[in-house]
Each structure stands twice: as C-alpha cells, then as structure tokens.
Amino acid sequence: MSCNCGKTCAPVDDAAHACTADDKAKCGCGPSGGNFTTAGTAEHRDSTSVHSVSSSEAGGKKLTGENFTATRNACKLCAPLGACLAFRGIEGCLPFLHGSQGCATYIRRYMISHFREPMDIASSSFGEESVVFGGRRNLFDGLNHVIEGYEPAVIGIATTCLAETIGDDVNMYVKEYISADAKRVNLPHILRVSTPSYAGSHADGYQWAVRAIVDQLAVDGPNEKFIGIFPGMVSPADLRHLRELMEDFEMDFSIVPDYSDPLDGPVWGDYHKIPAGGTPAREIAKLGRASAVIELASTIADKQSAASLLDEKFSTAVFRVGLPIGIRQTDKFCNVLEQITGRPLPAKHDAERGRLIDCYVDGHKYTFGKEVVIYGEEDFVVGMTAFCCEIGLKPVLCASGGKSGKLSECIREAAPELDPETPILEGIDFAEIEVAAFNLKPDLLIGNSKGFSLSRKTGIPLIRFGFPIHDRISGPRTLHLGYRGAQRLYDTIVDKLMEMKQESNDIGYTYI
C-alpha cells in the first residue's frame, strides 16, 4: 500500500502506518509534521486554521478559487519599493520617500532581509499637519538633514501613496528648494519619481523610477560609441554577469541602474554612509548620445519605458528583448549585442553556451514533462516560462501579481511551444495560486520565497528564484541571466528533481 497522495510514497505493508507525516516527507508529497492532504482526497481542515478548499473546488476544475474582492497574500509589493531599489543603483544616491515614516521603515526591513545589506531610506516623516498643509516643509527639512548627514551625490525622491493622494507637487517643491539654495556649490542632483502605490506594483515602481532617472539626467549631444542597458529587476549576481558580458564585447556601456555593488558588497572597516558602486550620474547623462539602448523587459508599457523615452527625445536606437533567461532568450540578447557592436559572441560565452547544451542533454530525462507553476514579477515569469519550456518542463500555470495586460501575449511569444491550454494569470494572489496548486498538482513551484507557505501546505517543493528571498541566504547571489545563469538554474532544478526521484523510492538508488 502506498500513500494516497497519488505519488509514490515509500510502500508500507501495514495499513495503520499508511501515509504518516514521515512517509509524506520522504515521498516529497507532504511536509513532515504537516496536516496537509493533497487535492483529490479533499480533506476539510479546520476552517479557521488555514484557507480551506472545499471538495467541489478540489475535485472540480476550478482554478483560482472564488473571485474575491480582497487580495489575500499578495504576489506583489508597492511601487515605492521598486523606486528605492532603482535609486540604490545610482552612484552616491540616497533613496528618499516623500510621505510617512512607516513606508520607509517597512521597505527597508523588507529589502534588508533579501539583500542582507544596509538599505538606508530617508523619509520626510509626515505628521498630521503635513497631511493638512502639504509636505513642503517636511521635504525641505528632510533634504537639509539628508545632505547634512549623508552628503549624497544624488537624492532619489519617490512619493508614497499618501503624498500622491494629498496632491503634493514634488517637482515644484524641488525647484523651489534648489532656487532657494542656488548659491550652494555642493547641492546634490535631486531626482524625482511619482510612485502612487495604488497605480502599480513594485515592478512598475522600478520601471517608473528608471524612466524618471533617465529623463532627468540624459542630455543630448553628438553620438558616442556607447550602449545603454536597462536590466530590469534582477539580482546583483545578474548585474555582475551582464557587466562581464558587456566588457567581453569590448564596447563602452552603462547599466542603469546597477545595484550589484551597493547591495552585495564586502564587509567594511568603516561604516560607509552610502555604499560604494552604482551607475554614476555622468554615465546616465551620456545615454542621450548613446549609439543604442537595450531594455531587458517584455511586459513594459511605452509610458513606463526608459528606452522609449530616449527614442522620443533623442531618436536613440532601441532594442527591447525580454530578460535573457535560458538559451533562446540569451541568444536574442547576444544577437542584439553582436548586431550593435559588430563583434561575434566572445569565445568564453560561446563555450559556456556549448557546455550548457551538453548539460541540457545530460539532464533532459529528469525534466521532461514535469509540471511547474511559475510566479513572480511579470518579466521574470516570461523569461522563466521560456526557459522551462526549452528544457522540457511543462508550465501548468504562469502567474503574476502585476497587471500589465501583456503577460499572456509576451509569454506566448517567448515560449511558442507552451500548451495553449496553460492558464496565464495576471493580478493574481497567493490564495488563488494555492487553489490552482491543489487542483493542478504540479511537481514543482518556481518563484520567490513568498510561495513557501503554499509549498509547505501542499507539499509541492519550491525552487526559490527571483525576488524576494527571505528564507535563504543566496537570493542576491542567484544568477538567472545569460548562459551561465541558465546553467545555474538548470543545475538547481535538475538536482532537485533527481533528489525527489531518489527519495521517492524505498531502495534509494545511488546511481540515477
């Protein structure tokens, strides 16, 4: 007799011992100590304990649960977080939130547990009177104190939903602030971006900020042999890899923004008010004269794209490719680089590509047909889906809390072989993903660590890629991009699948 989860638990000969938590843990179909029974058996749990799944849902075809008004366990964050991340990637920049103190503190706390690096974010610390009379005074005080305390080269101001709702005109305030202090020699660049959290997610906030940064810094001039790259919300390891690839193409370039050093730096001897690294403002200024810019984003709307803005303002040549996750997406990116630079793919990367294909061959049987649920930021989901499809995994749900309206179209384009029946859902939350997981019974979940409680409850293993990763240490160093990134993702996934295979039989083969 085996576990009734439908998978292959260690066989047990005594009915009384069927399906213990330990068995389930071994089988991989359930966590040890958990009280979860996979869908199909549709066991009701205490309705007050966790989200309950009714038998009709579990047995039926329902995919995302009831259409709830409330968002339950959101699969997204608010826009100012994305803006703060982008600002951290500008050299000498201190992110500054115009609004109440709590937003800055929560966002700091959230980012710190992913990056495990200092993440100082100033706030104009609204009180009740700022809500009534506007936040001008607080902004001026805040800027003064930030300049006095941090001596930043750049200050990046993003608005919170509160400042947006009371209608504070930050652009005007900043103009006033600068003109009142015109004589000051060391006044930092003050960048602004409007990030109402009710208008978009953290991924949007990131793009709005990149566009605003470029808008406020890039200036026209004679063309230069210089490439701009907008990398999207990727890991410090990804940014480093992009840098290496660009260097190997031997062309001047700038990655905007680049938080790889500020958010994954060494231990210091002294405390640094602002961590070293990031894209210098003067490099961003050069974007107006760039020979080309490449935007690694697929679901982006024109009105939030920094590349489109450069095109409008300076008629810059724009290339847009999705996040280069997997061979095909990376090929696209490298082709663009070959085209712009007139150089072939550097031998080092070509060799990595070759070894990667060799690994694809070695591991293809373990991945083929295994079903996965993929979730996260939209661009991440597009890239990850394309990658999964090319290694033979079968995405059974692609989901994001973002709402660009383009997710489906972009995925279908990047992964044409994806089963046309596979649902692609925008604006989803984890409660909905959970119902889907109960019904679809995938082999794996792929996404950030916010899927952990769902993984624990359903017993479906979670592979942590993307942002945020709060419950592992490797988040900032996880490489997703390029051939090398695909290698890392592939090894992680296949190792996990081999482990599952090994542990799901009672013999425990040592050669598999």
Long-range pairs, 149-153, Cβ under 8 A, ≥24: 149/273, 150/94, 150/120, 150/122, 150/273, 150/274, 151/186, 151/273, 152/92, 152/93, 152/94, 152/188, 152/273, 152/274, 153/91, 153/92, 153/93, 153/188, 153/189, 153/281
Among 3, 53, 86, 161, binds ligand SF4 (CB under 6 A): 161
Q: Does 103 bind ligand SF4 (CB under 6 A)?
A: yes
* Piece in contact with other proteins (CB under 8 A), picked from 40-48, 217-225, 237-245, 331-339: 40-48
Give how far Cα 16 sits from Cα of 7, 19, 20, 162, 304, Å: 19, 9, 9, 59, 60
Write down the least CB distance from residue 201 to other proteins, Å. 7
Helix spans in 5-49 (H)? 21-27
206 binds, options other proteins, ligand SF4, none, Cβ within 5 to 8 A by partner type: none
> By Cβ distance, which residue is nearest to ligand SF4?
103
Q: Are 332 and 386 in contact (CB under 8 A)?
A: no
- Residues whose CB is less than 8 angstroms from the CB of residue 141 and which lie 6 or more positions away in sequence, other chains included: 124
Rule CB under 6 A: is residue 106 a binding residue for ligand SF4? yes
Q: Which residues lie below 8 Å from residue 411, measured CB to CB, with a gap of 6+?
A: 381, 382, 385, 386, 398, 418, 424
Contacts of 184 (CB under 8 A, 6+ apart): none
Write out the H or E segment, with its range, that includes residue 334: helix 327-341
Identify the residue among 49, 186, 315, 510 touching other proteins (CB under 8 A): 49
Query: Distance of CA 123 to CAs 80, 93, 135, 253, 294, Å?
Result: 12, 14, 11, 33, 33
Task: Please give the backbone phi and psi of residue 374, each rounded to the nearest 5 degrees, phi first.
Answer: -115, 130
**Residue 230: CB minimum distance to ligand SF4, A:** 24
CB of 88 to ligand SF4, least distance (A): 17
Enumerate residues 171-200 that contact other proteins by CB under 8 A: 196-199
Alpha helices in 181-235 (DSSP H): 202-217
Return the number of the residue (116 or 348) whose C-beta is nearest other proteins: 116
Q: Of 243, 281, 280, which Cα lies nearest the Cα of 260? A: 243
Binding status of residue 120 toward other proteins by CB under 8 A: yes
Out of 28, 30, 65, 80, name the contact with ligand SF4 by CB under 6 A: 80
CB distance 397 to 439 below 8 Å: no
Segment near ligand SF4 (CB under 6 A), from 129-137, 155-163, 225-233, 295-303? 155-163
Interface map 446-485 toward other proteins (x if CB under 8 A): ----x--x--------------------------------
Q: Of these, 35, 55, 105, 335, which contacts other proteins (CB under 8 A)?
A: 105
* 102, 280, 423, 461: which one binds other proteins (CB under 8 A): 102
Strand 318-321 to strand 292-296: parallel, antiparallel, or no bridges (unpaired)? Answer: parallel
Give the closest residue to 207 by CA, choosing from 377, 353, 390. Answer: 377
Which of the listed partners (other proteins, ligand SF4, none) does 449 bind, with a CB threshold of 5 to 8 Å by partner kind?
Answer: none
User: What is the spatial distance between Cα 221 and Cα 299, in angstroms, rounded to a whole number?
Assistant: 30
Q: Does 201 bind other proteins (CB under 8 A)?
A: yes
Tell me whether residue 200 or residue 459 sits nearer to ligand SF4 (CB atom).
200
Which residues in the 121-150 window bind other proteins by CB under 8 A? 121-128, 130-131, 138-139, 141-146, 148-150
First to last CA, the chain: 24
Tell which phi-psi region holds residue 118, choosing left (phi > 0), alpha (psi between -120 and 50) or beta: beta
Position 510 contacts other proteins (CB under 8 A): no
Question: Could you tell me which residues are beta bridge partners of residue 154?
Answer: 93, 189
Q: Residue from 29, 78, 122, 481 that binds ligand SF4 (CB under 6 A)? A: 78
Q: Which does 104 bind (CB under 5 to 8 A by kind): other proteins, ligand SF4, none?
A: other proteins
Q: Which of 123, 160, 201, 305 binds ligand SF4 (CB under 6 A)?
A: 160
- Applying CB under 6 A, which part among 141-149, 157-165, 371-379, 485-493 lies near ligand SF4? 157-165
Residues 252-271 that bind other proteins (CB under 8 A): 266-271
Q: Of other proteins, ligand SF4, none, which one sits near residue 47, judging by CB under 5 to 8 A according to partner kind?
A: other proteins
291 near other proteins (CB under 8 A):
no
Binding mask 195-214 for ligand SF4 (x = CB under 6 A): --x-----------------
| Min separation Cβ 477 and other proteins, Å | 16
424: nearest Cα among 448, 451, 445, 405: 405
Query: Which of positions 53-92 make contact with other proteins (CB under 8 A)?
Result: 66, 68-74, 76-81
As a whole number of angstroms, the distance between CA 504 and CA 499 comes to 8
Which residues bind to ligand SF4, rule: CB under 6 A?
A: 78, 80, 103, 106, 160-162, 197
